[in-house]
Structure 1
């Protein structure tokens, strides 16, 4: 992820990211990726400068770290200063979402001025809705690599058998985007399956929600993360969660209802004109990776304090604090997760 982090207040004024190890001694933070970090290949922590942070970074779920990459994390006690992951209890919020401050959405929703309908956004949104021709889209290439990926594929196939029109792009399907492109294609659909590859893994919410659904202008149907985790960060009334339904049949019936009732379907877009300018439809800008934006802000705010802080047990933080569903090696499929 080399490059310059934007000189934006939300990013602490800007930082430089490099893979060049020649800058190791001068770096304010050194980031170690979960899947490649090996204890016998890491720098001696005694040589770390007092105001330099060693950061453990993971973009994957706890299940993937434990079973796919076979990480035990037993040998990292008191080695790293900070954690940077999708979990909100990490030191640095490494969730992949647009370039905004944490809780920006909820802050804006509390403002009475922002509750007024925006005359420019509402017609644009209604026009986008009127041009939709597909029902449900799903983009996936991991069909069975993780246990969660297997389970979500079962859910998708069951929805298709129940008569829900799900078009599958990527290696798990046979459709391609062609010359139209990724986001304009997804914009033609009313719904997007924001299905993660982990089962109830805490905070594991990725670009499937933020970009594939919200940016394209599709209503996300969320499967994987606990609903409470999604509610903490997504605008109220902006998504459908799998756990709200007692069965797949009930979910399929609801989607068919929304497909034919434009009034009910349009309610899932009401938040967009209450928060003008947020998640603009059909506009995917090249945001710098949010994790490093947050890290830059964190560095500027407290790097001089790192000498007295380490993560006592990475194993307890990453594995022991996640849910039982997330860390099961094999999961028997149930129509509804509890």
Structure 2
């Protein structure tokens, strides 16, 4: 009898683990789908537009690789996009004085001139990795997105398998922290600014606060906070999350989020709820920059170090983890009824004065542009960073000198685990798919360790081997 009970116990444990795995994977697929499609579409559009502005030599799969390199092109190192982010079968790119061949064609992996393998973080998966990894193969990671799109990469065992990084962290080799901000002029612009007098008139028929989100219940738990906030102050919510007001039909589509008509709708409001989907240092998206560009005060929740990036010390209402929705609502209502206090948050814009030297320096020193055809975009800059580093080491080898050993650090992609807001007790928290983010994050630590073990073995592995290691560590 004891033996039978023991077997039932272990069978139930295995079934529970499998169920947890399936639910976790479904969470990543379903809740990450909207943002992944939006970001990837934006990346591809930018890449296509910017690459059209500069001369390149493109080759298709019909060209014979060996013949092409026999014609004197074999001296150029190959940069292989393992994730087909750029969609280019072959292109010679000029990076200053250095030339590299960029391709998504995986048959190049075995070529003697392949020096770097490039990965897009959201598409990085364990069932297809370029193993065994040659000693001269450097791995480079491009990942500008939220941690929810691939949690395992946000732990030291996983991020440190790469040599080169371009992430939203200011500590990465190519920081993308300002990826959603075109320039300082866009912040200073008064193009969409609505005067306080007109905003007060508009207040007769619209709420003081607007919220536009269609990616609901993300790891930051923003919808819980906003739902509670709405009990104390009026909020017009146009997105799918907490929806209570409709956008005009002509702009009621995610593709119109940067449309002038949509901007004019938002600019009428006094406050915009700018809540990120994840809480990480330096993870700052258009949710913050958009209201600042429109002349609306953002009520911001997200990057804990946001004060280091704001245009002035008084340009946003910053919400922290322990904030009370009622107190935030009371403060919003106070500013709404007092033009003098409200205008203190707009003064920097009216004066055209950005006092933050960190922000100014970051935009000045970055080696790429946003929506600027005269500059490389950040994908080009990432490619060229890796290309230049590869060439530098090749020159060092020719001279018999030591080469640079590039390696990613844990700080290049690091976020704390998701936590719900503490203003509600656990007993009153509603149950939803968002409750899976915390256990998913915890499991991703095991996945990162398993990935590191298998990559260090330096040979191909199966999904079963990977998950066996994951569940073995869970049981320990």
Q: Structures share a fold, TM > 0.5?
A: yes
After TM superposition, give the deviation of residue 85 of structure 1 in Å: 1.3
What is aligned with 2:293?
Answer: 215
Residue 91 of structure 2: SS of its match in structure 1?
Answer: helix
Residue 271 of structure 1: SS of its match in structure 2?
Answer: helix
Seen in structure 2, the aligned counterparts of structure 1 residues 169 and 246 have a Cα distance that, compared at 3 Å, is closer
After TM superposition, give the deviation of residue 312 of structure 1 in Å: 5.1
Seen in structure 2, the aligned counterparts of structure 1 residues 296 and 129 have a Cα distance that, compared at 3 Å, is farther
CA distance in 2, matches of 1:263, 1:231: 23
Select the residue among 21, 28, 33 that pairs with 2:89: 21
Select the residue among 144, 163, 174 that pairs with 1:81: 163
Q: Which has the higher contact order (CA 8 A, sep 6+)?
A: 1
Select the residue among 123, 130, 134 that pairs with 1:46: 134
After superposition, give the CA deviation of every residue in 1:137-182 in whole Å (9 maximum; x if it has no partner): 11111112x332xx211111111101x1111122111433324632
Seen in structure 2, the aligned counterparts of structure 1 residues 277 and 30 have a Cα distance that, compared at 3 Å, is farther
After superposition, give the CA deviation of every residue in 1:237-284 in whole Å (9 maximum; x if it has no partner): 211101298522221111001111111111111111333699xxxxxx
Residue 155 of structure 1: SS of its match in structure 2?
Answer: helix
**Partners of 1:187 and 1:216 within 8 A in 2:** yes
CA distance in 1, matches of 2:127, 2:157: 9
Seen in structure 2, the aligned counterparts of structure 1 residues 78 and 89 have a Cα distance that, compared at 3 Å, is closer
CA distance in 2, matches of 1:175, 1:20: 42
Select the residue among 169, 180, 184 that pairs with 1:97: 180
TM-score, L = length of structure 1? 0.68
Q: Which blocks of at least 5 consecutive residues in structure 2 are unaligned?
A: 1-43, 58-84, 93-99, 103-114, 252-260, 356-369, 394-402, 425-476
Residue 308 of structure 1: SS of its match in structure 2?
Answer: coil
Q: Does 2:351 correspond to 1:274? A: yes
After superposition, give the CA deviation of every residue in 1:24-43 in whole Å (9 maximum; x if it has no partner): 86139864211211356344
**Superposition pairs of residues 111-130 of structure 1, within 5 angstroms:** 127-130=194-197
TM-score, L = length of structure 2? 0.50
Q: Does 2:228 correspond to 1:143? A: no
**Partners of 1:5 and 1:292 within 8 A in 2:** no
After TM superposition, give the deviation of residue 311 of structure 1 in Å: 2.6
Select the residue among 125, 141, 144 that pairs with 1:56: 141
Seen in structure 2, the aligned counterparts of structure 1 residues 188 and 85 have a Cα distance that, compared at 3 Å, is same
CA distance in 1, matches of 2:294, 2:174: 27
Superposition RMSD in Å:
4.1
**Partners of 2:193 and 2:267 within 8 A in 1:** no
**Partners of 1:87 and 1:94 within 8 A in 2:** yes
After superposition, give the CA deviation of every residue in 1:105-124 in whole Å (9 maximum; x if it has no partner): 9xxxxxxxxxxxx9xx78x7
Residue 90 of structure 2: SS of its match in structure 1?
Answer: helix
Rg: which structure is higher?
2
**Partners of 1:84 and 1:92 within 8 A in 2:** yes
Seen in structure 2, the aligned counterparts of structure 1 residues 241 and 74 have a Cα distance that, compared at 3 Å, is closer
CA distance in 2, matches of 1:77, 1:147: 20
CA distance in 1, matches of 2:181, 2:330: 32
Residue 222 of structure 1: SS of its match in structure 2?
Answer: strand
Residue 350 of structure 2: SS of its match in structure 1?
Answer: helix
Provide the aligned length of Structure 1 versus Structure 2. Answer: 286
What is aligned with 1:282?
Answer: none
Q: Does 2:262 correspond to 1:187? A: no
Residue 35 of structure 1: SS of its match in structure 2?
Answer: helix
After TM superposition, give the deviation of residue 65 of structure 1 in Å: 2.4
Residue 271 of structure 2: SS of its match in structure 1?
Answer: strand
Select the residue among 256, 262, 285 that pairs with 2:339: 262
CA distance in 2, matches of 1:143, 1:64: 14
Residue 288 of structure 2: SS of its match in structure 1?
Answer: helix
What is aligned with 2:415?
Answer: 322
CA distance in 1, matches of 2:295, 2:52: 29
What is aligned with 1:310?
Answer: 406
**Partners of 2:322 and 2:422 within 8 A in 1:** no
After TM superposition, give the deviation of residue 187 of structure 1 in Å: 0.8
**Superposition pairs of residues 168-179 of structure 1, within 5 angstroms:** 168-172=237-241, 173-178=243-248, 179=250
After superposition, give the CA deviation of every residue in 1:1-20 in whole Å (9 maximum; x if it has no partner): 23253899xxxx99999421
CA distance in 2, matches of 1:300, 1:269: 43
CA distance in 2, matches of 1:41, 1:74: 21
**Partners of 1:39 and 1:76 within 8 A in 2:** no
What is aligned with 2:382?
Answer: 295
**Partners of 2:140 and 2:164 within 8 A in 1:** yes
